[in-house]
Structure 1
């Protein structure tokens, strides 16, 4: 029996996917691919602008470039494999590929969640302690913030990947998802996974509520600082600088909490897959749009870049 389990654990998994080949779902697939392309181009462009324009070499834009990098990696982790499987008609993914995909996904989601939380702290320092901002948000502090976000996510991803992929899997090994999602994989295990599922739930709670508590605490202090400002115009400007971040936080945490913090009896694969599309493809597309269209400095850098391209083409 043990030999059979080991042999089955080394075989391919089958990703059932989210789309069929009906006309309606072909249209939905095309829409997802358009959103994927926009997300890809938007995040690459934002990283490029932040890197090239000296005016954007500030802590806030450094964090934003890291957020775009995470989003870029996130859309490339799941969507290309989904598209290849859909277009080729092959739904398989290797055992190793499935483990890598799951580990990358968990790592990136964890890193993005914590980074969004720490970006709220950056906004708090900028608004409440503007004179001390260069000291409190020095280059060393920024690197520590980004490094801790990546380390937190990668550690969680590695732990979950190693544990989940050491479980024995048997039967058809059909994953009812469009990527190797952890909860969907655990349903296929040939052993009791309840202890690990409880552990994973605790990890999800920590990964969500630790940065979320930082966000709540930071914005509570920001609101208090704004209420004590003598100029109403200064208060509006301070809140405007936070609006993009709050929008990104709402999109990310709303979808993540819906997926991972609901009781198991309310989980439906169809709902989970649709919401997963939302925060693995749609949110990475919206983030660069939110931070660019509502930000005059980024739009200024974009216009400057377009002017340089126009002048270069005329020479």
Structure 2
């Protein structure tokens, strides 16, 4: 999707620019967990190093948060297009799109960094009184909203959430769109050999 939107000038609009970033985030989101998961599956290992866990957690949380913020930006884009069509090019200028995208990436990265640093400090600090009370008030909040599931169901849910959902986003947000399908035909036509 990112390459398609880049190659077709008719898709150089704010909505498709945001969609290209969503596709890029989905690709990176999958790349944070799937390579290690595949390696572990093929090699029979079931562990990850402490540093590797921290790096993976940072990128996973960053992508999840950035994607949520980008989806909010896309909702704002559609709101402006529907409710203020005459002012759309003023409210959704290229500069505003770049700000939205940079804001999504920056805030997502900060969120990922804070959560990862907190996890590292929590792990190395040991169970002190303040940490114990924090933990107790939190896995309580978690248990109050968590429905009882088996370990296998948790694994299936994790695979669905980390692999299938990002893959389906491309279909849901773009391939059902007539403009994208038209762009796909045009771009494929550019690279196919022409008949003489």
Q: Give secondary structure in 2 for the equivalent of 1:93.
A: coil
Structure 2 gap ranges (5+): none
Alignment pair present for 1:263 and 2:150? no
- Paired position in structure 2 for 1:144: 99
- Paired position in structure 1 for 2:187: 305
Alignment pair present for 1:95 and 2:50? yes
> 5 Å matches for 1:125-164?
125-164=80-119
Displacement of 1:76: 0.6
Displacement of 1:266: 3.3
Q: Is the 8 A contact 2:22 2:67 kept in 1?
A: yes
Runs of 4+ in 1 over 4 A off after TM superposition: 196-201
Distance 1:265 1:51, change over 3 A: closer
Displacement of 1:261: 6.9
- Paired position in structure 2 for 1:60: 15
Alignment pair present for 1:81 and 2:20? no
Alignment pair present for 1:278 and 2:160? yes
Structure 1 gap ranges (5+): 1-45, 170-188, 202-259
Distance in 2 between residues matched to 1:52 and 1:200, nearest whole Å:
47
Distance 1:85 1:193, change over 3 A: farther
Distance 1:268 1:156, change over 3 A: farther
Displacement of 1:150: 1.4
1:108-134, Cα deviation, whole Å (9 max, x unpaired): 111111111221111010111111100
- Paired position in structure 2 for 1:195: 134
Displacement of 1:194: 4.5
Q: Is the 8 A contact 2:4 2:184 kept in 1?
A: yes
What RMSD in Å do the two structures reach over aligned CA positions? 2.6
Taking structure 1 as the reference length, the TM-score comes to 0.56
Distance 1:267 1:111, change over 3 A: farther
Q: Is the 8 A contact 2:32 2:56 kept in 1?
A: yes
Displacement of 1:291: 2.6
Displacement of 1:267: 5.7
- Paired position in structure 1 for 2:64: 109
Taking structure 2 as the reference length, the TM-score comes to 0.87
State the number of aligned residues. 192
Distance 1:190 1:52, change over 3 A: same
Q: Tell which has more relative contact order, 1 or 2 (C-alpha 8 A, sep 6+).
A: 2
Q: Is the 8 A contact 2:7 2:187 kept in 1?
A: no
